[in-house]
């Protein structure tokens, strides 16, 4: 068993981990320990299970077996495995994006139907009617997205525009022509576009029509599975090129659609103050944790928790009210838009239940451990699964249907409220610690803050007040002490006057340690130039840009700077990092950052070391192909130094 200080630098996790140990509750850290030693072939990526002649594995030390039964060598196997990881990550993000586009379409179609039935026309045309399960909360953004896509906006109702935008988005998933995605064409600056177009030719594969420009979001994912089927693609270069293409379908397609249309439906985030960490759970309240990724659900739970009848019921049952808090990315969605407090990041999902104060953990998709059900059994907590595509044995199933969103959300909240009397007060222990921070830095909010353009930021970079920008993303991974690398890398970069932007579990980590407070700029962890800039503009030295699908906000921001300077993204002094990467989604994000021209650091070594050619392509050759590559470095201090050196190299190339 680990000591509590070994698992996390977060004192709330430490407390709850110790509590779990005392109670004999198994957590992620014990399960990791039981997996030791983990399979060396798997860690190196040289195990192939793609057909039933296998499983095959390659001797990583150069002896026999050098090839699988079909003849595939280590590099082919490693590249194929990596492509499958990218495809799964891109699929998860993109299916989320599809769900949002379908929700917008459903809402627009319901507005049309209600209008025909004689309900108030104006409200329905504006999609502002409370009879609709989902409304258009940001009409300006809808128009902006439509204009980018080349859709005529003049004389059209909100309802008509919403329908057209949703249809273009959905077309990007299933289209069969060779053209690049409509969303990619609408958002990407021509200089970066050209790099995508020519990438395959540069890599010696001119038969890749249109280079690595993704054609259809689903198509690239399907083709990934096809290419990696036994007896299909065996060249690590073409396999990896397709990996870049698939990840770009995620970046400039699936994830971008998710972010943009979520803003349309639920509002574009604006700067707001909120709180983070397990201390946001409240002792006398019904606590509902929304966990997963899709705000299509969590937005409705937040709304339902304000329902007077449910609040009355909660009071009747002895609670002071209903406290909705977030976990993981769906938590970040409602944090960014409404300031709903966030209870924690990935490694705190079990810890939240161990407080004994959670009536319901309402989950949808991605990054939800099935173990939450086992931990919940030790308390009164109910795990409620809601997505038809994610069922948890032992959970309560209340499957969500967008058409009946309000009704179902109320049923979920009622289930949580009715569970309050089952709470054992003696078994409640909520850590006190929580931290405030400013969130909501969408691209629109950043532009607004800087007076309508990115000029102040660009000038600070050119002057050298800010050396560059780092996009920090990604998960927790129990192989790393929770949040340790997130915070170390952040501080080491800020000390060197690098402005941070970030998303996902990194953002929650940063918030928990006060990095999203403007006063953090006064600490010794922030260099003088960044401090001056942050103070001048009244911002924290690091900006929370949202959930993992919102990594696209970072791309759009980088693209805007690149446009202003008439450069491709790869010429900018920017870097990415996933200090504690864990998921296949993180692999897709890392790949699309690199493919888009942002050199990216990984703090966890991905399963590729068994393929020397693959390693060379990923860490060196990609510089010539897309102008960026991967840096792999588990030590956070060395990693920050390497990232800074990359920024300085880019500055030198630009002559600044």
The verdict on 285 binding ligand BF8 (CB under 6 A) reads no
Cβ within 8 Å of residue 441, ≥6 positions away: 269, 271, 449, 501, 543, 544, 545
Q: Is 277 in the site for ligand BF8 (CB under 6 A)?
A: no
Q: Work out how close the CB of 550 gets to ligand BF8 at its nearest, in angstroms, rounded to a whole number.
A: 9
Asked if residue 100 binds ligand BF8 (CB under 6 A), the reply is: no
476/570 with CB nearer ligand BF8: 476
**Phi, psi of 343, rounded to the nearest 5 degrees:** -80, -25
Which of 365, 505, 557, 572: binder of ligand BF8 (CB under 6 A)? Answer: 505
Q: Does 376 bind ligand BF8 (CB under 6 A)?
A: no
For residues 36-73, one letter each, b for 16 or more C-beta atoms within 10 angstroms of the residue's C-beta and e for the rest, the string is eeeeebebbbbbbebeeebebbbebeeeeeeebebebb
> Residue 151 region, left (φ>0) first, then alpha (ψ -120 to 50), else beta?
beta
**Element of type H or E holding 286:** strand 286-291
> Does an H or E element contain 342, and which?
strand 342-344
Q: Say if CB 309 and CB 317 are below 8 A apart.
A: no
* The only residue of 104, 108, 384, 475 in contact with ligand BF8, by rule CB under 6 A: 475
What is the distance between the alpha carbons of residues 164 and 223, in angstroms, rounded to a whole number? 28
Q: Please give the size of the binding site for ligand BF8, defined by CB under 6 A.
A: 15
Binder among 29, 266, 346, 592 for ligand BF8 (CB under 6 A): 346
- By CB under 6 A, residue 583 contacts ligand BF8: yes
**531-570: which residues touch ligand BF8 (CB under 6 A)?**
548
Is 347 near ligand BF8 (CB under 6 A)? no
Residue 360 corresponds to which tokens in the numbers above? 């319901």
Q: Which is nearer to ligand BF8, 499 or 548 (CB)?
A: 548
Find the shortest distance in angstroms from Cβ 292 to ligand BF8.
8
Comparison of 515 and 560: residue with beta carbon closer to ligand BF8: 515
Q: Is 382 in the site for ligand BF8 (CB under 6 A)?
A: no
Residue window 211-250: x/- pattern of binding to ligand BF8, with contact defined by CB under 6 A: ----------------------------------------
User: CB under 6 A: which stretch of 59-67, 415-423, 521-529, 583-591 binds ligand BF8?
Assistant: 583-591
* Stretch touching ligand BF8 by CB under 6 A, among 113-121, 221-229, 529-537, 579-587: 579-587
Cβ pair 71, 52 in contact under 8 A? no
Nearest-angstrom CA–CA distance, 183 and 185: 5
For the bound state, the minimum distance from the C-beta of residue 481 to ligand BF8, rounded and expressed in Å, comes to: 16
The dihedral sign for the CA sequence 132, 136, 137, 139: negative
From residue 445, alpha-carbon distances to 468, 501, 539, 540 in Å are 20, 13, 12, 14
Task: Tell me if 367 contacts ligand BF8 by CB under 6 A.
Answer: yes
Residue 602 makes contact with ligand BF8 by CB under 6 A = no
The answer to whether residue 582 forms part of the interface with ligand BF8 (CB under 6 A) is yes
Q: Which residues fall within 8 angstroms of residue 1, CB to CB, at 6 or more apart?
A: 21, 30, 33
DSSP helix/strand/coil, 298: helix
CA–CA distance, 252 with 269 (Å, rounded to integer)? 20
Tell me the closest approach of the beta carbon of residue 504 to ligand BF8, in angstroms.
3
Residue 474 found at the interface with ligand BF8 (CB under 6 A) = yes
| Residue ranges in contact with ligand BF8 by CB under 6 A | 293, 328-329, 345-346, 367, 474-475, 504-505, 548, 582-583, 585-586
């Amino acid at each position: 068993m680990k000591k509590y200080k070994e698992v996390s630098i977060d004192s709330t996790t430490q407390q709850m981990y110790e509590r779990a140990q005392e109670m004999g509750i198994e957590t992620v850290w014990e399960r990791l320990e039981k997996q030791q030693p983990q399979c060396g072939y798997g860690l190196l990526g040289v195990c192939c299970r793609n057909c039933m002649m296998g499983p095959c594995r390659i001797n990583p030390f150069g002896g026999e077996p050098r090839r699988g039964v079909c003849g595939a060598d280590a590099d082919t196997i490693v590249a194929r495995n990596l492509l499958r990881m990218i495809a799964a990550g891109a699929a998860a993000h993109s299916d989320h994006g599809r769900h949002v586009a379908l929700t917008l379409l459903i809402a627009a179609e319901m507005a049309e139907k209600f209008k025909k039935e004689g309900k108030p026309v104006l409200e329905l045309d504006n999609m502002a009617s409370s009879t609709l399960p989902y409304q258009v909360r940001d009409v300006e953004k809808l128009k902006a997205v439509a204009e980018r896509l080349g859709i005529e906006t003049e004389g059209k109702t909100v309802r008509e525009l919403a329908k057209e935008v949703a249809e273009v988005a959905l077309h990007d998933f299933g289209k069969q022509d060779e053209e690049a995605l409509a969303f990619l064409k609408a958002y990407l600056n021509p200089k970066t576009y050209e790099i995508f177009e020519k990438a395959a030719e540069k890599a010696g594969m001119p038969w890749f029509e249109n280079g690595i420009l993704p054609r259809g979001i689903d198509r690239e994912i399907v083709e990934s599975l096809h290419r990696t089927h036994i007896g299909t693609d065996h060249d690590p270069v073409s396999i990896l090129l397709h990996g870049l293409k698939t990840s770009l379908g995620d970046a400039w397609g699936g994830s971008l659609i998710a972010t943009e249309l979520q803003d349309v439906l639920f509002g574009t985030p604006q700067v707001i103050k909120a709180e983070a960490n397990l201390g946001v759970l409240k002792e006398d309240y019904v606590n509902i944790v929304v966990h997963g990724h899709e705000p299509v659900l969590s937005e409705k739970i937040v709304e339902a928790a304000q329902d007077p009848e449910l609040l009355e019921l909660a009071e009747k049952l002895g609670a002071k009210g209903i406290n909705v808090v977030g976990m993981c990315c769906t938590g970040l969605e409602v944090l960014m838009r409404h300031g709903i407090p966030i209870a924690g990041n990935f490694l705190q999902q079990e810890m939240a239940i161990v407080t004994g104060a959670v009536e319901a953990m309402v989950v949808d998709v991605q990054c939800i451990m099935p173990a939450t059900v086992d931990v919940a059994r030790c308390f009164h907590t109910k795990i409620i699964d809601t997505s038809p595509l994610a069922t948890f044995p032992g959970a309560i199933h209340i499957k969500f249907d967008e058409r009946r969103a309000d009704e179902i959300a109320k049923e979920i909240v009622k289930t949580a409220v009715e569970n309050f009397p089952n709470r054992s007060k003696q078994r409640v222990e909520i850590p006190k610690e929580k931290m405030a921070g400013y969130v909501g830095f969408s691209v629109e909010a950043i532009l607004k803050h800087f007076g309508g353009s990115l000029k102040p930021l660009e000038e600070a970079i050119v002057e050298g007040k800010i050396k560059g920008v780092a996009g920090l993303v990604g998960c927790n991974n129990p192989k790393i002490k929770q949040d340790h690398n997130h915070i170390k890398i952040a501080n080491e970069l800020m000390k060197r006057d690098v402005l941070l932007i970030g998303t996902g579990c990194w953002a929650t980590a940063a918030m928990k340690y006060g990095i999203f407070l403007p006063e953090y700029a006064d600490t010794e962890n922030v260099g003088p130039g960044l401090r001056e800039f942050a103070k001048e503009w009244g911002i924290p030295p690091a900006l929370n840009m949202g959930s993992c699908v919102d990594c696209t906000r970072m791309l759009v921001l980088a693209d805007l700077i690149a446009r202003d300077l008439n450069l491709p993204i790869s010429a900018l002094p920017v870097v990415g990092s996933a200090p504690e990467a864990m998921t296949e989604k993180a692999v897709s994000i890392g790949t699309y950052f690199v493919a888009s021209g942002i050199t990216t650091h990984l703090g966890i070594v991905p399963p590729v070391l068994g393929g020397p050619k693959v390693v060379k392509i990923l860490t060196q050759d990609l510089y010539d192909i897309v102008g960026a590559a991967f840096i792999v470095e588990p030590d956070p201090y060395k990693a920050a130094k390497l990232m800074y050196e990359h920024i300085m190299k880019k500055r030198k190339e630009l002559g600044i």
